[in-house]
Copies of this chain bind each other. A is one copy, B any other.
Amino acid sequence: MSATSHLDRAPSLADVLAQRLEQDIAQGHYAPGEKLPSEQQLATTYGVSRPIVREAIGRLKHDGLVTSRQGSGAFVAESGGASVFRLDVSNFKDREEIESLIELLMAIESSATELAAQRRTEQDLIALGHQLEAMQAAIERGDSGVDEDVAFHRAIVEATKNPFFMDLSTFLDRRVRHFIRTARANTAKLQTGHMMAVQDEHRDIFNAIRDKDAQRARQAAENHLKRAAQRLAIYMKRV
């Protein structure tokens, strides 16, 4: 078996064709609103069958780059840009990618905390309080507390009422959670001390949101995330 395990999955024909068409559109080879060649024509020019062309175009349609009308043809979308944004995370192993992801997470999370402080309802506050208690219970149980940690942050972004923040945050949480979990499992000794620190920082955030103090909430979030990143760095060093 080669060292590259599943990094090089066979790129299907539809894959490369879709990528190629996407590239052609991005480079302005096909203007916005312009009708691109028929499926049959594309099939002959690129030397593949029509179903393959269909699959590739279907992908572009799914990404909002083209819109097709039956009987008329396929047209590249107006305004040049796609209506969906794709954030491709290739692999966990890449350290730079992780750090970039964490930076993005910190940006989102701190802004979300600020917004949450401005907009939180009584209900949001109650939910946050429950998550705080759940975290405390997890600490006393001796659990890892990762789920409760994530749930607390989740409650914050939900208080923003901004669907983009919520979606992005859940995605990033999912991607980073693995690290935290595996890292913490390897260093059980340090857990309780660290987790009590986490809990204190969470409480600071909670209090700021309770007081609707946006600036303090942001600072508390930044402080928490910075420390969390440091703790994570310590964990990662060991691996």
Contacts and interface: CB of A to CB of B under 8 A. Distances in A.
Contact of A167 (B58, B87, B108): B87
A174 B80 contact: yes
A14 interface: yes
A contact face: mostly helix, strand, loop, or mixed:
helix
Contact of A107 (B10, B67, B88, B107): B107
Contact of A85 (B79, B160, B167): B167
A70 interface: yes
Interface in A153-190: 160, 162-165, 167-168, 171, 174-175, 178
Contact of A10 (B70, B81, B83): B70
A112 B110 CA distance: 13
A163 B100 contact: yes
A90 to B, nearest CB: 7
B100 A111 contact: no
26 contacts: A6-B67, A18-B62, A58-B59, A64-B88, A79-B174, A81-B174, A83-B90, A84-B86, A84-B87, A84-B88, A84-B89, A85-B85, A85-B86, A85-B89, A86-B86, A87-B87, A87-B164, A87-B168, A100-B165, A103-B162, A104-B162, A104-B164, A104-B168, A106-B111, A107-B108, A111-B111
Interface of A: 6, 9-10, 12, 14-15, 18, 51, 54-55, 58-59, 62, 64, 67, 70, 79-90, 100-101, 103-104, 106-108, 110-112, 115, 160, 162-165, 167-168, 171, 174-175, 178
